[in-house]
Amino acid sequence: MKLLFATGISLLLLTSVGTAQEAMVRITRSGSQPPAIGIPDYYTGIVRKEALFDAEAPARVVGGVVTYEPGARTAWHSHPLGQVLIISAGVGLVQQWGQPVQEVREGDIIWIPAGVKHWHGATETSRMRHVAVTEALDGKSVDWMEKVDTIHHDG
Amino acid sequence: MKLLFATGISLLLLTSVGTAQEAMVRITRSGSQPPAIGIPDYYTGIVRKEALFDAEAPARVVGGVVTYEPGARTAWHSHPLGQVLIISAGVGLVQQWGQPVQEVREGDIIWIPAGVKHWHGATETSRMRHVAVTEALDGKSVDWMEKVDTIHHDG
């Protein structure tokens, strides 16, 4: 046990300067994560979520992929430090509270500022898939609110 | 002027609680950003960068899309708070200092922890395009180092 410990220390000293022993580049392969169904309180319709990574402190980003079947969407919600959505497939909708609904397509990038109430999801006729990168504040990355009742395309 | 100011205040009071007046959801459309050529000191080959967004404080993420022509790559570098790469097209390579080269493909997500020396780029025969989301520390998101001389696929 002592020998194993000493060997561990030697290996540690042999690693490159400035690179912590456990800080490794992590690749999450497309389609490799078992999807979880979105909690019905927070979503309308069929939504699948795949966790991708949680950054180690001092970084505070968390990442995931979310797939919305046609007509599926989040409830109204906000993020304490904002969120980036990268639309990776399909056509979707995004709406900020008090603003018109906007259509988004594969390749579009959406920046949702801290504290802004909004929802996102698929259109009625297309699936939508996005990568979400969110900064967590003290481990919290979302505040859930009421469900979206009716979608008013005129805001 | 006073009336205008008073009207401004009234409008401010009429906006939704918890939503700052200027905090708006921002959509950056696919292909809408004029690309800039990557600075030759930091890249090998032809690299084009498109800025997507800079978050407002207290958030600290910045986002962009980078396209690498076949054989193009970054120099060795690290990020003070890490970086997320979302491969949006093609086939690429990623290497952490002292580790083997790894191939990445469309849909793969790469988490690069804070302070980890690494490079990324296209393969010799394929273009590669990624979205990069980076947390900036006091406005700084990257530390550039020496160029990658030869790619050793065995690490």
Ordered by where they begin, the domains of chain A are 25-144 (2.60.120.10)
Pick the closest to residue A73 from A90, A92, A89, A96 (CA basis): A92
Angle at B32 between CA B108 and CA A151, to 5 degrees: 80
- B5 CA: distance to closest CA in chain A (Å): 22
Average pLDDT, chain A: 86
- Nearest by CB to A55, which of B94, B105, B111? B111
List pLDDT tens digits, range B33-87.
888 999 999 999 999 999 988 888 889 999 999 999 999 999 999 999 999 999 9
Decide if B131 contacts B65 (C-beta within 8 A). yes
CA distance A40 to A22: 37
Residue of A nearest to B32 (CA): A108
Question: What is the CB-side half-sphere exposure of residue A88 using CA atoms within 13 A?
Answer: 25
pLDDT range class, residue A19, cuts 50, 70, 90: very low
Nearest CA distance, A121 vs chain B (angstrom) = 15
pLDDT of A79 > 60? The answer is: yes
| Residue B12 confidence (pLDDT) above 80 | no
Contacts of B111 in chain A (CB under 8 A): 25-26, 28, 52-53, 55, 63
In this predicted model, what pLDDT tens digit does every residue of B89-105 receive, in sequence order? 999 999 999 999 999 99
Reading phi first (left if > 0) and then psi (alpha if -120 to 50, else beta), residue A98 is in left
CB contact under 8 A, B135 and A60: yes
B84 CB contacts (<8 Å, ≥6 apart)? A53, A61, A63, A133, B109, B110, B111, B112, B132, B133, B134
Buried b (16+ CB within 10 A) or exposed e, A1-29: eeeeeeeeeeeeeeeeeebeeebebebbe
Q: Do A102 and B27 touch (CB under 8 A)?
A: yes
ipTM of the complex: 0.80
Chain B residues close to A119, C-beta within 8 Å: none
Query: CB–CB of A112 and B25 under 8 A?
Result: yes
For B113-141, how does the pLDDT look when each residue is reduced to its tens digit (9 = 90+)? 999 999 999 999 999 999 999 999 998 99
Full-model pTM: 0.81
Distance separating alpha carbons of residues A82 and A47, to the nearest angstrom: 21
**Probe site for chain A from B13, B15, B27 (most A CB atoms < 10 A):** B27
Chain A residues with CB-CB distance to B135 below 8 A? 55, 59-61, 135
Q: Which among B52, B109, B117 has CB closest to A28?
A: B109
> Mutating which of B81, B86, B128 best tests the A interface, going by the most A Cβ atoms within 10 A?
B86
pLDDT-derived band at A129, boundaries 50, 70, 90: very high
More confident residue, B4 or B74: B74
B2 backbone dihedrals φ, ψ, rounded to 5°: -65, -40
- Partner residue facing B116 (CB), from A25, A78, A108: A25
> Shortest CA distance to B106 belongs to which of B84, B89, B123, B120?
B89
List the single best residue of A65, A111, A119, A131 to mutate versus B (max B Cβ within 10 A): A111
Contact partners, residue B90, CB within 8 Å, separation at least 6: B105, B106, B122, B126, B127, B128, B129
- The residues pairing with B85 across neighbouring beta strands, listed in sequence order, are B110, B132
Cβ partners under 8 Å of residue A17, min gap 6: none
Residue A40 contacts by C-beta under 8 Å, 6 or more apart in sequence?
none
Distance CA B151, CA B102 (A): 11
